[in-house]
A and B are shown apart, each in its own frame.
Chain A
Amino acid sequence: MPFFILPHTADVRLKVWGKDYEEVFRAALLGMSAIQKKAIPTKDADFIERTISVEASDGTALLVDFLNEVLSLCAINKEWYFDGVFERLTATSLHVTLHGIAISDFDEDIKAVTYHEANLQKNEKGEWETIIVLDI
């Protein structure tokens, strides 16, 4: 999956990319979930679905706000979301169904997804790309 963890002195700097918004948003979700928990859901797990809608002023804010919504749901429901299907995804709004499992604890405590260095834009290959700094 197109995400990569870059060095940061105190927190986690995640680089994500994709050929379109859906790919880059999904990559960010998968990247964040991989940091939260080093696990692979088993086939016999009780899978959970949650839907969320987010609106923001632009694509960068939409991505950060979306990841923060996911983090809040993880903390409140004690669930880990390892994938998502985007039913609607525009430059300023999204509706997504998250797939997850109930969980007793996480490996890493991500306090929040920050706007610091976030700038969703096309790179020289024509792919959408941004850095996301997670507060650990």
Chain B
Amino acid sequence: MIPRPVFKKIHDWLWEIPKSFRADMRVPACVYATEHMLDDIRRDRSMDQLINVATLPGIQQYALAMPDAHEGYGFPIGGVAAMDASEGVISPGGIGYDVNCGVRLLRSTKTIDQVREKTDALASALYRDVPSGVGRGGRLILRGNDLDAVLQHGAHRMVELGYGEKADLEHLESTGRLEDADPSLVSDTAKKRGADQLGTMGAGNHFVEVQYVETVFDTAAAAQLGLFARQVVVMIHTGSRGLGHQIATDYIRLMMKVMPKYGITLPDRELACAPFSSPEGQQYFHAMAAGANFAWANRQLITWEVRKSWQEVMGNTGGGLSVIYDVAHNLGKLEDHIISGEKRRMIVHRKGATRAFPDQPVLIPGSMGTASYVLLGLPQAMEQTFGSSCHGAGRRMSRSQAKREVRGSELKQEMKAQGIAVASGSLSGLAEEAPVAYKDVDEVVDVVHAAGIAKKVACMRPIAVIKG
């Protein structure tokens, strides 16, 4: 555990571990948190991991941890690091195995009062139509050129195939397609793992939730996004499934092999990296972009599945579901940032961190059964965090401890008593995701808001939770 006096208070929500703390640090390590949250964060190894990130070649200004930070592997979850694109490295472990894990939010025209009596039916239909769990395949099996087209064109390809509307694409980060994708750099093993996984949610903390807008904090900003009090919305949280996991596995292995060639030594093998401009760095970047496109295609097909369930349960008077936004929280992006007054090209690693550019919607899912938030990025985020925000509540308890403390069946009953319908394939999986296992999302979001990274627009509460 890093001793408390090591952390220098910058302001009420920002703490710094100075570069002098360890000889191999190239920049300071900074964490956004209240004093109380900092004590919690210090309990696991996330701050040791953040210090390791601060040693990576080409890292600029600081290694950052968001207020939802917790222990991961290599990078902490909630970690942000910007590397100079010409001199710095790219690290697959700094982006994570679930490439472009992210969140999409759909808005309906209905209020909770119009939907309340149908929540059980909605939960059942969504559980049926959105395949979930470990190993369950989806409705599409794509191979060869058909899969490559998805890897190249992401959500755009799904819309071409009829799974969505062109208007959907206007509301996705990067319009749901990274132009840098090169499917030829994705291994056959990765493609085989992804062949039947489009349109599937997976397990763990992934979910589809029907929610309602409980509180509007900023009426004008909410109206701009088409949000209003008591409105029903649908949130989707999933990523690139096994295809993305395999891309990360393949390229971490490759980078471990080539690091000696570039004279790179690291405190943790999981940070394996290569210069961004090197052949291996470029290969990973283009393969990762293909994995990101697969994730956007996945959330697009799930959107189609959700609309199908909605239509069936709500009937012809149910209105449509429109995309508010779709944002990645495990991704490396090539972006321009101002460093010491000079505009520079950076490869920004966000692992369990959401892009938060000015006026961009930032979607923060809470833990199961608790609040989720919509925020808008603020200009200060560009100055303070390379345009990045938190990504969720952040775990505070291990899965095994959660299962010891919570019974899935009792949790399901408790949620039912709170008016939340639950459709889940696994009661033990439900227990792992119990709210008690997570930090207080309200507190996490308050830090981001108070620090001027993103402003609160609306807060939602779930009425139906669908999980694997």
Residues of A that sit less than 8 Å from B by CB: 5, 7-12, 57, 60-61, 65, 68, 72, 75-76, 78, 103-109, 111-112, 114-118, 133, 135-136
**Contact between B204 and A109 (Cβ–Cβ < 8 Å)?**
yes
Asked if A9 contacts B193 (CB within 8 A), the reply is: no
Q: In the complex, what residues of A have CB within 8 A of residue B401's CB?
A: 7
The docked-state distance in angstroms from the alpha carbon of A10 to that of B77 is: 9
Q: Pick the residue among A72, A76, A108, A111 that contacts B98 (CB under 8 A).
A: A111
Q: Is A112 within 8 A of B249, CB to CB?
A: yes
Q: Is the beta-carbon distance between B253 and A12 smaller than 8 angstroms?
A: no
What size tier do the contact residues of chain B reach? 35 or more
| A114-B73 contact given A9-B44, A9-B397, A57-B257, CB 8 Å threshold | yes
Complex CA–CA separation, A108 to B96 (angstroms) = 18
Q: Are B272 and A115 in touch, CB under 8 angstroms?
A: yes
Stretch at the interface among B113-121, B128-136, B367-375: B128-136
Min CB–CB distance B39 → chain A (angstroms): 15
Chain B's nearest CB lies how many Å from the CB of A65? 6
Question: Helix, strand, loop or mixed for chain B's interface?
Answer: mixed
Decide: A76 and B135 in contact? CB cutoff 8 A. no
* Cα–Cα distance between A56 and B106 once the two chains are bound (Å): 46
- Find out whether the CB atom of A7 lies under 8 angstroms from the CB atom of B73: no
Q: A105 to B193, Cβ gap below 8 A?
A: no
Query: Distance (Å) between the CB of B245 and the closest chain A CB?
Result: 4
**Contact call A116/B135, Cβ cutoff below 8 A:** no
Cα A109 to Cα B396 in complex, Å, equals 20
Residues on B facing A (Cβ under 8 Å): 44, 46, 70-74, 77, 93, 96-98, 133-136, 189, 192-193, 202-204, 242, 245-246, 248-249, 252-253, 256-257, 268-270, 272, 395-401, 425-426, 428, 468
Contact indicator B136/A105 (Cβ below 8 Å): yes
Chain B: CB-nearest residue to A103? B135
**Contact indicator A61/B256 (Cβ below 8 Å):** yes
Min CB gap B57→A, angstroms: 18
B189 touching A104 by the CB < 8 A rule?
Answer: no
Asked if residues B256 and A11 are in contact (CB atoms below 8 Å), the reply is: no
Which listed residue (B192, B257, B269) contacts A116, Cβ 8 A?
Answer: B269
> Contacts of A112 on B, CB cut-off 8 Å?
97, 245, 248-249
